[in-house]
Amino acid sequence: MPAFRRRHLCSLTAALALTATVPATAAHADAPDASAALRQVLFVGNNWDGTAEVIKSTGDFAKIGRIDVVPDKDERMAEINADPIRWIAFMTIRNSVGEGHDQFVDDMYSTPDGKSVVVSRPSFADVVSIDLASGRINWRFPVSGFRADHMAVSPDGKRVAVSASTGNTVHVLDIVTGRQLGKATTGDKPHENIFTKDGKYIYNMSIGDVNTQTDAPWLDWTKGDRRITVIDATTYQQVKVIDMRSRLDAIGLKDFSDAVRPAVFSPDESKLYFQVSFFNGFFEYDLASDKITRTKTLPKNPATSDDRTSFVNDSRHHGLSMSPDGKKLCVAGTMDDYATVVDRGTLQEGPLVTAAKPYWATVSGDGKSCVVSESGSDQVTAIDFATGKKTVSVPVGDHPQRVRLGHVEAGWTSPSAS
């Protein structure tokens, strides 16, 4: 198993308030323009590279091309170096959540016409749209605070929601123009976003401070305001707050973190499956009864330390997806170096597929495979939902994290040699 980099303790003053992500399913992938000839692909964000790999969405998942998502790097760095506050923020991201590296791509979605890809860039605290033909930036939106994080695209592909993780805000943008349509206040350190399939609501998960070393259960109160904020996607007003603290306490899990990480709805949206900080497993939450109905604990890797301060950004497991028929869940066991497919009915896990620090799980274009990003070995791996077995691994760039379904124009090739 690979050695893990121990994350650095953030030393930024509290005045800067700096610290510092449900996977999109096929149903939530951006809607293509029927008038154009488009090709479905997977975008793989190579966070430390500042590139996005474009690979086939099915079959052998072979590489199609690569995109530079920081073509304006020199300009952005000049701005950062000229502003002491922004420089401190930039370096803090590098030495805390970035594990000693800059974070240049967190999340990405293509536009409905397949002509552009929209990318959140944590270290640059912005969202940009990049023209897939030329590689040039169409528009740029600076988020509030100092760091951009996870995104979600609306079912019609026209709006993108992005978490401003140090601004405690979700911005909702027009995916074509970059114009802000609205914004909403969240808990501390907003992370994952999910649009409901009717496009009416956005679920935002705030995870609190994940770069402190106050990780013991009795110090959980130091982590901040962690909750699910349900946002009206028309008015951008908060309509509901779900705090998992009381739901976990009700089933006797008072020592468990209530920081909801990756999550995924069942196809009928009656159940929410979610991971939390420090836990090797996941929970099932019933929306109608407002209760956690089942807990799944997954195996620990004997080689993985139980020292919570050694977990990258408080994540023991980080990555969750569901097969389109709702029968199987796929789990990325990040710190335990495996991924596995779990039967949703019985909660029985399948084979533990060895993977190096898997950081995300999504669904292939044909719905037959779970695709996980192996950030520790710079590859993505496909696992068959039916058998739970690995089918193929393909090399990508440095530290792949988010993997999203999208589209490019038929015949597309990289804007420049890579």
Q: pLDDT (tens digit, 9 = 90+) per residue, 321-334?
A: 999 999 999 999 99
CB 404 within 8 A of CB 107: yes
Fold topology of 15-409: Methylamine Dehydrogenase; Chain H (2.130.10)
- Is the pTM higher than 0.75? The answer reads yes
| 92 closest CA partner among 108, 82, 80, 75 | 80
Alpha-carbon distances, residue 273 vs 103, 169, 210, 263, 342 (angstroms): 27, 23, 21, 5, 12
Is the model's pLDDT at 30 over the cut of 60?
no
Q: What is the reported pLDDT for 125?
A: 98
Q: What is the reported pLDDT for 15?
A: 32
Q: How far apart are CA 165 and CA 189, in angstroms?
A: 4
Q: What is the reported pLDDT for 99?
A: 92
Residue range 300-357, pLDDT digits in tens? 999 999 999 999 999 999 999 999 999 999 999 999 999 999 999 999 999 999 999 9
Q: What is the reported pLDDT for 12?
A: 33
Is the model's pLDDT at 238 over the cut of 80?
yes
Residue at token pair 């597309």: 412
Percent of the chain with pLDDT over 90: 90
| 43 closest CA partner among 384, 389, 380 | 380
How remote is the C-alpha of 371 from its chain's centroid? 13
Q: What is the reported pLDDT for 173?
A: 98
CB 169 within 8 A of CB 184: yes
Sheet holding 353-354, edge to edge: 320-322, 328-333, 338-343, 353-354
| 253 closest CA partner among 295, 300, 222 | 295
Q: What beta strand segments (E) does 62-124 contain?
A: 63-68, 107-110, 116-121
CA triple 285-286-287, angle to 5 deg = 110
How remote is the C-alpha of 211 from its chain's centroid? 17
| 198 closest CA partner among 234, 240, 239, 149 | 234
Percent of the chain with pLDDT over 70: 91
Q: How far apart are CA 197 and CA 202, in angstroms?
A: 10
Q: What is the reported pLDDT for 36?
A: 61
Residue at token pair 């009795």: 218
Q: What is the reported pLDDT for 33?
A: 47
Is the model's pLDDT at 31 over the cut of 80?
no
Q: How far apart are CA 20 and CA 106, in angstroms?
A: 12
**Mean predicted confidence (pLDDT) in 235-261:** 97
Q: What is the reported pLDDT for 35?
A: 52
Q: What is the reported pLDDT for 6?
A: 36
Q: How far apart are CA 26 and CA 227, in angstroms?
A: 26
Residue range 139-163, pLDDT digits in tens? 999 999 999 999 999 999 999 999 9
CB 28 within 8 A of CB 195: yes
Torsion sign over Cα 31, 36, 42, 45? negative
| 43 closest CA partner among 81, 82, 22, 69 | 69
Is the model's pLDDT at 5 over the cut of 60?
no
Write b or e for each residue in 256-270: b if 16 or more Cβ atoms lie within 10 A of its Cβ, otherwise e: bbbbbbbbbbbeeee
Is the model's pLDDT at 34 over the cut of 60?
no
DSSP string for 119-146 = EEEGGGTEEEEEETTT--EEEEEEPSSS
Residue range 162-218, pLDDT digits in tens? 999 999 999 999 999 999 999 999 999 999 999 999 999 999 999 999 989 999 999
Residue range 355-374, pLDDT digits in tens? 999 999 999 999 999 999 99
| 361 closest CA partner among 348, 49, 388, 347 | 388
Residue with the larger pLDDT of the pair 181 and 35: 181
CA dihedral 226→335→92→186, nearest 10 degrees, is -20
Enter the tokens of residue 302: 């004997």
